[in-house]
Amino acid sequence: MRHRNSGSKLGRNPSHRRATLRNLVTTCSSMVGSPPPDAREATRPVAEKIITLGSATRCKSRRQAAAYLMTPAVTAKLSAKSRQIRRPRGGYTRIIHAHRVADGAKVAISRNRRLRLKEKRKERKNQEEEPAAAAS
pTM for the predicted model, two decimal places: 0.63
* CATH of the domain spanning 14-111: 3.90.1030.10
E strands, 26-124, in order: 96-99, 106-109
Indicate the SS3 state at residue 34. Answer: strand
Which stretches of the chain score pLDDT less than 70?
28-41, 81-89, 110-112, 132-136
pLDDT single digits (tens) 51-69: 888 877 788 888 898 899 8
